[in-house]
Structure 1
Amino acid sequence: MSISPSHPKGPELLPLSQRSEELAYRLRQQEALAGFALFALQATELDLLLQEACRVSANGLGSELSKVLEYRPEDDKFLLRAGVGWRPGLVGHALVGSDIASAAGYAFRTGEAVISSHLGAAAAEGEDRFRASQIMVEHGVRRAINVPIRGREWSYGVLEVDSPQENKFTQADITFLGGVANILGVAMERIRMERAVQESEEGFRTLANSIPQLAWMADPSGAVYWYNDRWFEYTGSTLDEMRGWGWRAVHHPDHVEGVVERIRHAFETGENWEDTFPLRGRDGEYRWFLSRALPVRDADGRILRWFGTGTDVTRQREAEERSQLMTQEVSHRVKNSLALVASLLGLQSRSTASAEARQALEDAYARVQTIAQIHDRLWRQYDAESVDLCGFLNDLCRKLQETAVEHRLEFHGHPVMISIDRAISLGLLLNEIVTNAFKYAYPEGGGGPVQVRLSAKGGQLRLKVTDLGVGLPADFDLSKNRRSLGSRLIVNTARQLQAQVEAGPNTPSGARFTVTMPIQPA
């Protein structure tokens, strides 16, 4: 490849008139390059950008012909994508070879600019490195200059200027045309990226419009710029009314400040957001919506936009409220019934003459009271399926302490969730063990300490009850102590829980009961 100067002598050796002419020519190229850069910065249509690049290139090099050749990998050829000076029907349709034997193919595959001179001339003076395409022959092209069009990670094709004149292109001409091609490549990459973002946005909007929830999108700062059709159908609002932070107008005045505070925190930290609040519909009525939003990020983790949805949960909330009311009513009646049973047992114990019968009735009274306390504790919580066992047993121990002020009952534990049914059974089991400690650990009166510890590890619960009293009899065997109702209750309850209960001496004195059971039943 050779690059020939426009004159046999260097520009500095030319006569003054020719040097002035050369300078003016290069200044016109620089002005054309600056003008094209401004056009490319604002261009949004690829076809217009390519056509303008051809026009600027031809004018800048004083030629009648120029073209953009787009490489088509499926054909391994160039498509004459844009151009000036070519006969009708060629631009957008003509295909030419892209192999390295052509100047355009060489420039595309090597990334180097190429000057070709004396194309179509006699063999003695003609261009012997590259062949001329049939299109160039038809238009009498005698010289050409090709520069590659590239982006950061892709190659588009070639920008080419052709001329039927015998003059030669120079290194300065390559610099000019290379500048046009570089600006073109950057602008094409920008248009590609903007188009990809636009297509992604349009796809996002189409998807968001197809879902039954209210949906919206906000910029990285949290200003909403788009809502789906469901939003406008429900609220009866317009985009101009809702744009930015206008959505606050359809929020309930009792909730809007809290919603703004929580969602603003999410926008500032980039955290996912979830909240439930009432929104006013076009009919003026408020309905409850579960709303969520998450940030959409680019490959570098920067937030591009926020996408949020709102799901109408009014019926669910109403159903939950009705269920709670029914639960409260049923629980109130059960509590009253248990209280009546306890009162009858208490009355009967006071009227019986038999000490043994009185003790049995008092034990039954205590157990009914325990069941009533457990029931009262559980129905108050929202989740009807599981309970924090630590808090539940701590409340139970506090109630038991109130019935035996001469003792000091301490509870220690860590939070662990367990089903309601298992919590109730374990509560009854703990009640029996603690009540027995109150009765038998300190027979001389005055009371003493009783400790309850709850721990969980590896899917297993461990409940340990210890005292510092007189300890268990030497021949004590919980499984064989069938005469005691309490012992039978402990054994049977443990069997229901798939639990093991071990009884033994405590250190330095007293008794120790350890209950081990799986958190989830087998």
Structure 2
Amino acid sequence: MIDLFKRLQPDLSSWTSNESIRAAAIAEHDLDTLRDDAALSRLTDFAAALCAAPTALISIVEETSQTFLARTGYDTTESPRETSFCAHAMLSDEIMVVPDASQDPRFADNPLVTGEAGLRFYAGAPLIRADGIALGALCVIDTVPRDGLTPLQAQGLRVLAADVMMRLSDSQSTAASRAAISDSEGRFRTLADTMPQMVWSTQPDGNHDYYNARWYEFTGVPAGSTDGEGWNDMFHPDDQDRARRLWEHSLATGDPYQIEYRLRRHDGQYRWTLGRALPIRDEAGAIVRWFGTCTDIHEQKEASEEREIIAQELSHRIKNIFAVISGLIAFSARGTPEFATIAADLRARVTALGRAHDFVRPHSAQSRPTAAPTSLHGLLGELFLPYQPQEGARIVVEGEDVEIDDRSATPIALLFHELATNATKYGALANERGTITVDIHSEQDRLLLNWCERGGAAVSAPAKTGFGSQLIELSAVRQLGGMVKRDWDPAGLRVEIAIPKSSLSRT
């Protein structure tokens, strides 16, 4: 179907009756001089910020290749024309939008889509000279599918494409260049003033010298009053030192600047704001300006905090349920002494489930465990903590760490809790000398977890299969789709557990 579609498409090289005319038009521009031009780079930086895209390019499509005069978030300076999206975009007078290239018959088997680049979303505004000759496109690119551009983003992309053509025309005339730069700056300021974000820029040393109209509307301060170093006084006192440290780090290293802080609005209310900035560099790599935005995220921040409170409350209630179940078991055991041993084992298993839940539940910055909440090492460390002495470690977890989630944490917790409990009763933890090693490593699409006991009481295979063995089988085999092998070595039990990696995490 894709091949048929492509056969029906017109040959891109036949879009004009005389390809040599377009080649001559391109030759009129000094591409080597224009490549990585600071003014053009500023336009791609702005296009990427405007469209919230990681990559923006100014592409000139030649006979066999395309040259990128300016690029943001992209290292390559040119690519073959046969893989060019811009070669399609320049055939139209309107912006070409590809929401998901992997689903578009024109591009589904394009190496930029199927290869490491993983291109999905594309939007390109054609670069067309006044005499009607198309040179290429100004485009933004993302690696995830998107619905398209907002009306403001589409308008901005057209304005920036016009500025690119102005800059290309300027390369032919020094006098025209001076007038065009002034006009381009006016266009830039007009576009920046229509953006919903607050836009600002600084000199290389971080001295603020430009804010758009939105900044002054939001803050209510007089024009120019926050130039230089005055910007930091607009932040909440508790955020000022942190914001200054991060900004000084970016100035010293050239790293992108990103921070959430509370910014004072004109009515005196402090609103949560997302601040971002990127450096603009010259051909030698030196920073010539910083371009940044401030986005009001107060409602999103409050909604996130409310969701976190609800998640914590739900988790607290679940933990209470575990506590109630444990209490009911203890209460029942008091009235039935012969049930005491079984009750103790059952309470320990309920406790293991509680530890697994506490490990994978949503956490705030204050309640989050030391280990990552998706870490297999972290889960095992939490589970084995009650069996470890205050000094040293009798159970050691070695090898590869992998990502887990709530789906796999519960059966893993039950499985290893059962092994540790049995080791306490009959194996390596039944005396003061025994140790246990859990070695984790990958084997193709499986994860192998090797449980090895040494130095404990002599072990032998049980005469019959008990509930604990059935629980291990239930957890490893039925719930995780794995396999369990036991070696009843008198020197210490060895257990090999093989689990498909796909069972550990939804990702």
TM-score range with shorter-chain normalisation?
0.5 to 0.7
Displacement of 1:411: 3.0
User: Could you tell me which residue of structure 2 aligns to residue 438 of structure 1?
Assistant: 424
Shift of the 239–250 alpha-carbon distance from structure 1 to 2, 3 Å rule, reads same
CA distance in 2, matches of 1:459, 1:197: 58
CA deviations on 1:197-218 (whole Å, 9 max, x unpaired) are 5455445434433332221111
Shift of the 449–349 alpha-carbon distance from structure 1 to 2, 3 Å rule, reads farther
CA distance in 1, matches of 2:202, 2:317: 51
CA distance in 1, matches of 2:489, 2:328: 38
Q: 2:316 aligns with which of 299, 314, 332?
A: 332
Query: Aligned pair 1:450/2:431, yes or no?
Result: no
Shift of the 194–327 alpha-carbon distance from structure 1 to 2, 3 Å rule, reads same
Shift of the 263–197 alpha-carbon distance from structure 1 to 2, 3 Å rule, reads farther
CA distance in 2, matches of 1:440, 1:223: 70
Q: 2:495 aligns with which of 505, 512, 520?
A: 512
Residues 428, 453 of structure 2: 8 Å contact kept:
no
CA distance in 2, matches of 1:260, 1:406: 43
Displacement of 1:470: 5.3
Shift of the 272–516 alpha-carbon distance from structure 1 to 2, 3 Å rule, reads same
What are the equivalent positions in structure 2 for 1:65-144 lying under 5 Å apart? Answer: none
Q: 2:349 aligns with which of 358, 367, 372?
A: 367
User: Could you tell me which residue of structure 1 aligns to residue 484 of structure 2?
Assistant: 501
Query: Aligned pair 1:304/2:288, yes or no?
Result: yes
What are the equivalent positions in structure 2 for 1:350-365 lying under 5 Å apart? Answer: 350-354=334-338, 357-365=339-347
User: Could you tell me which residue of structure 2 aligns to residue 490 of structure 1?
Assistant: 472
Displacement of 1:311: 1.8
CA distance in 2, matches of 1:438, 1:463: 20
1:254 maps to amino acid: D
Q: 2:279 aligns with which of 281, 295, 304?
A: 295
With normalisation by structure 2, the TM-score equals 0.57
User: Could you tell me which residue of structure 1 aligns to residue 327 of structure 2?
Assistant: 343
Residues 360, 373 of structure 2: 8 Å contact kept:
no
User: Could you tell me which residue of structure 1 aligns to residue 375 of structure 2?
Assistant: 388
Residues 434, 465 of structure 1: 8 Å contact kept:
no
Query: How many equivalent pairs are there?
Result: 330
Shift of the 444–438 alpha-carbon distance from structure 1 to 2, 3 Å rule, reads closer
What are the equivalent positions in structure 2 for 1:48-63 lying under 5 Å apart? Answer: none
Could you tell me the percent identity over the aligned residues?
A: 32
CA distance in 2, matches of 1:350, 1:257: 59
Residues 438, 447 of structure 1: 8 Å contact kept:
no
Displacement of 1:259: 0.5
Displacement of 1:491: 1.8
Displacement of 1:251: 0.7
Unaligned ranges ≥5, structure 2: 1-23, 26-170
Displacement of 1:514: 2.9
Shift of the 424–208 alpha-carbon distance from structure 1 to 2, 3 Å rule, reads farther
CA distance in 2, matches of 1:497, 1:191: 73
User: Secondary structure of the residue that 2:384 maps to in structure 1?
Assistant: helix
CA distance in 1, matches of 2:277, 2:428: 61
The worse-fitting range, judged by mean Cα deviation, of 427-436 and 244-253 is 427-436
The worse-fitting range, judged by mean Cα deviation, of 467-476 and 332-341 is 467-476
User: Could you tell me which residue of structure 2 aligns to residue 242 of structure 1?
Assistant: 226
CA distance in 1, matches of 2:202, 2:272: 22
Q: 1:428 aligns with which of 414, 418, 423?
A: 414
Displacement of 1:375: 2.4
With normalisation by structure 1, the TM-score equals 0.56
CA distance in 2, matches of 1:258, 1:380: 26
- C-alpha RMSD of matched pairs (Å): 3.5
CA deviations on 1:165-220 (whole Å, 9 max, x unpaired) are xxxxxxxxxxxxxxxxxxxxxx9976566556545544543443333222111111
Displacement of 1:462: 3.3
Residues 459, 489 of structure 2: 8 Å contact kept:
no
CA deviations on 1:111-154 (whole Å, 9 max, x unpaired) are xxxxxxxxxxxxxxxxxxxxxxxxxxxxxxxxxxxxxxxxxxxx
Residues 447, 500 of structure 2: 8 Å contact kept:
yes
User: Secondary structure of the residue that 1:417 maps to in structure 2?
Assistant: coil
Displacement of 1:241: 0.3
User: Could you tell me which residue of structure 1 aligns to residue 452 of structure 2?
Assistant: 466
Displacement of 1:386: 5.9
User: Secondary structure of the residue that 1:242 maps to in structure 2?
Assistant: coil
Shift of the 458–257 alpha-carbon distance from structure 1 to 2, 3 Å rule, reads farther
Residues 459, 490 of structure 2: 8 Å contact kept:
no
CA distance in 1, matches of 2:187, 2:468: 69
User: Could you tell me which residue of structure 2 aligns to residue 318 of structure 1?
Assistant: 302
2:359 maps to amino acid: R
Shift of the 206–427 alpha-carbon distance from structure 1 to 2, 3 Å rule, reads farther
Displacement of 1:431: 1.4
Query: Aligned pair 1:254/2:227, yes or no?
Result: no
CA distance in 1, matches of 2:398, 2:358: 22
Query: Aligned pair 1:218/2:205, yes or no?
Result: no
The worse-fitting range, judged by mean Cα deviation, of 208-217 and 304-313 is 208-217
CA deviations on 1:273-303 (whole Å, 9 max, x unpaired) are 1111000000000010111111112233222
1:516 maps to amino acid: I
2:487 maps to amino acid: G
1:261 maps to amino acid: R
CA deviations on 1:247-289 (whole Å, 9 max, x unpaired) are 1121111111110111111012111111110000000000101
User: Could you tell me which residue of structure 1 aligns to residue 396 of structure 2?
Assistant: 410
Residues 390, 413 of structure 1: 8 Å contact kept:
no
